[in-house]
Structures are given as C-alpha cells and as structure tokens.
C-alpha cells in the first residue's frame, strides 16, 4: 500500500485524470486570481496603472517617431540636383546635355534655366532690382535642375546620381540639397536610440514593480503557503496562482497603456489637424495599429509573467514550514 521504490513520485490518481485536472486547475487559478484582483481593486489597479503608464510612455514615443517618419518621407522625395554649367557654352551643346541627362534611367524631369532667366529671377527675388543692370556681364551660371525618380530619391541614391552627373564635361559644379536631410536623419536616429534606452529603463522598472507586488502577495500568504507545503504541494502548484496574478497584471496593465496612448492621440488629433491645415497638408496623426496593440499586450503579459516568475522562484523556496 505504501510503495516508494525508485522514485517516491507515485500517485493514486491515474495519469489521464491528472492531466485533465492539471488544466482544470490552471483554469481555476486563472479565473480565481482574476477574481482576487477584482476583490482588491485599489491595490491591484495601482500596480496595473504603473505598468500602463510605463508602457504608454515608450508607446507614445514610438507613435511620435512613426508620424515624424511619415512627414520626412515626403520630404525625401523633394531631393533635387542642381547642375551649374560652364560659362560660354553654345545652345547646341546645352541642348545635347539636357537630352543626354533626360535619358538617364534615374532621372524623372529635367528643367533648364538659362543665364538670362536666372538673372531675371534673381532680380525679382533678391530685391536688388535695377542695381544689377550696372553689372558688365551676367555672373550667374546656367542651371539644370534634375529631379530623380522616386526609387532614386533617397539621400544615398541621389548622391550617386550627383557623382554621375558631375562627370559630364559641361557641368562645372553639381549640388545636392540633402545636407539638412542627412542631419534630420541623424537626429531621428539619435532620438530612436534614446527612446530605446528610456523604454528599456521603463520596462525594467515594470519588472521590479510587478516583482515586488508579487513578493508582497507571497509574504501576505506565508501561512497558507506553509500549510500547502505541509500537505505535500509542489512549488509548481503553489506558484501557479502568483504567476497568473502576474500575467493578469501584465495584460490589464498593457490595456491601460494602450488606452492612455490612444486617448493621447485623440486629444492631439485636433491640434495636429489645425497645424496641418496651416501648411495646406491633409496630414493625419496615426494611432496604434492592431499589430502594435497586440504586440503591446503581449510584451506587457510577458513582462508581468517574467517578473512574477523571478519573484516566485526566489521567495516561495524560502518559505519552509
């Protein structure tokens, strides 16, 4: 009646029943811990709110970047190459050059601005007006404005095109107005890096907060855990409800984070619309997509579970009857 040969792990319940009850048990714990959270709403809401806020911050940074990238993406396409031609070229060579450039596969449009045209424009724009009439000769070069096709309009591709165009012997100098774009990209990369760092810090604080809450839960139920160990509960059985608590903290905290982020988007939308209107743009603020929502909840759930797992592993072992 009391067999212990080999492993003492014998049981009076057949394996298939144990398997079924294992899942029934899981389900009971999952529902039970949710009920427990419901019965102590203030305490659990605090923890979940901290989780939500910590997640909402990196999420809104992410949204900010996503929208900023959309804005700058349209700026990228404005990349334009200006070619300044040598003085004193005759019409035929100039026409030849324009024809050659427009046959480049990378080139979308070519616009020619002659020397006199340039001077006229300069007169109008600069406000020097008739003062320029006193110049002996026209100092402005003839210019060819080249717009690359869309797939060649990224800073790197446009730069390649510029080098190619500069090899034309009629061209004295080429200029690509992308320095500011490169700087902007640099700044964006910097912001992304710092957001990643801040997000990392916030998420570690989430781990610590949830871990500590679970630790307090465990200490509160010290007597119960002792009794359970006395009657033969395994650590896995004892830690299950705490792991579920952590999981719920994560899931609900993630939802709070999503709500916070979404309401922030709603709140800013009208302002953004107004600003976009001033720039004659129909830009609309993008919120979190479905996949981003799912990712956020999953990340939060994993964090909650991980934090409670670490806490449970440390503290349940220490409680011995």
Q: Is 25 in the site for other proteins (CB under 8 A)?
A: yes
Structure tokens, 214: 């679970």
Residue 12 sits in the site that holds other proteins (CB under 8 A): yes
When asked if residue 16 is in the footprint of other proteins (CB under 8 A), the reply is: no
Q: Closest Cα partner for 293 from 266, 264, 259?
A: 259
| Cα-based distances in Å from 277 to 72, 78, 274, 283, 287 | 17, 20, 5, 8, 19
Comparing CB distances to other proteins, the nearer of 60 and 217 is 217
Whole-angstrom CA distances from 180 to 72, 74, 186, 207 are 11, 14, 10, 40
Q: Is 2 in the site for other proteins (CB under 8 A)?
A: yes
Identified binder of other proteins from the candidate list 177, 231, 277, 301, rule CB under 8 A = 231
When binding is defined by CB under 8 A, the residue of 163, 227, 294, 318 that contacts other proteins is 227
CA angle centred on 77, ends 72 and 80, rounded to 5°: 120
- CA dist 307 and 245 (Å) reads 11
Closest separation between CB of residue 313 and other proteins, Å? 13
320 binding other proteins? (CB under 8 A): yes
Give the shortest CB-239-to-other proteins separation in angstroms.
12
Smaller CB distance to other proteins: residue 15 or 290?
A: 15
Can residue 1 be called a binding residue for other proteins (CB under 8 A)? Answer: yes
Q: Which is nearer to other proteins, 165 or 238 (CB)?
A: 238
Q: Is 278 in the site for other proteins (CB under 8 A)?
A: no
Question: Is residue 40 a contact residue for other proteins (CB under 8 A)?
Answer: no
Contact 243, 309 (CB under 8 A): yes
Residue with tokens 């003085």: 87
Name the residue nearer to other proteins (CB basis): 179 or 224.
224
Given strand 81-85, what is the order of strands in its sheet? 107-113, 143-148, 81-85, 171-176
Residue 15 or 103 having the CB closest to other proteins:
15
- List the one residue from 230, 275, 294, 318 that touches other proteins (CB under 8 A): 230
User: What's the rounded Cα separation, in Å, for the pair 75 and 182?
Assistant: 11
By the rule CB under 8 A, 73 interacts with other proteins = no
Separation between Cα atoms, residue 275 and residue 272, nearest integer Å: 5
Only one residue has tokens 């070229």, namely 89
* Other Cβ atoms closer than 10 A to 13: 9
Binding site for other proteins (CB under 8 A): 1-5, 7-13, 17-18, 20-22, 24-25, 223-224, 226-235, 237, 320-321
């Amino acid at each position: 009646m009391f067999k212990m040969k080999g492993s003492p792990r014998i049981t009076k319940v057949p394996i298939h029943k144990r398997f079924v009850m294992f899942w029934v048990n899981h389900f009971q714990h999952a529902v039970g811990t949710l009920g427990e959270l419901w019965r102590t709403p203030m305490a659990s809401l605090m923890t979940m709110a901290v989780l939500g806020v910590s997640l909402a911050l990196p999420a809104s940074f992410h949204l900010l970047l996503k929208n900023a990238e959309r804005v700058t993406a349209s700026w990228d396409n404005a990349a334009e190459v200006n070619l300044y031609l040598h003085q004193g070229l005759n019409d035929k060579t100039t026409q030849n050059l324009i024809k050659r450039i427009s046959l480049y596969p990378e080139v979308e449009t070519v616009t020619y601005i002659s020397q006199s045209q340039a001077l006229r424009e300069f007169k109008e724009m600069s406000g020097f007006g008739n003062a320029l009439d006193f110049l002996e000769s026209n100092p402005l070069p003839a210019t060819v404005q080249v717009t690359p096709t869309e797939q060649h309009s990224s800073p790197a591709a446009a730069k390649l095109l510029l080098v190619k165009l500069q090899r034309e012997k009629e061209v004295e100098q080429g200029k690509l107005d992308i320095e500011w774009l490169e700087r902007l990209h640099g700044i964006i990369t910097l912001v992304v890096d710092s957001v990643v760092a801040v997000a990392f810090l916030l998420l570690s604080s989430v781990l610590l907060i949830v871990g500590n809450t679970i630790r307090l839960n465990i200490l509160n139920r010290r007597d119960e855990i002792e009794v359970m160990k006395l009657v033969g509960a395994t650590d896995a059985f004892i830690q299950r409800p705490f792991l579920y608590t952590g999981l719920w903290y994560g899931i609900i905290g993630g939802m709070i984070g999503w709500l916070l982020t979404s309401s922030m988007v709603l709140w800013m939308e009208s302002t953004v619309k107004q600003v976009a209107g001033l720039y004659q743009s129909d830009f609309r603020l993008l919120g979190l997509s479905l996949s981003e929502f799912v990712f956020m909840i999953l990340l939060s759930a994993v964090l909650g579970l991980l934090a409670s797992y670490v806490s449970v592993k440390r503290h349940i072992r220490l409680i011995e009857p």
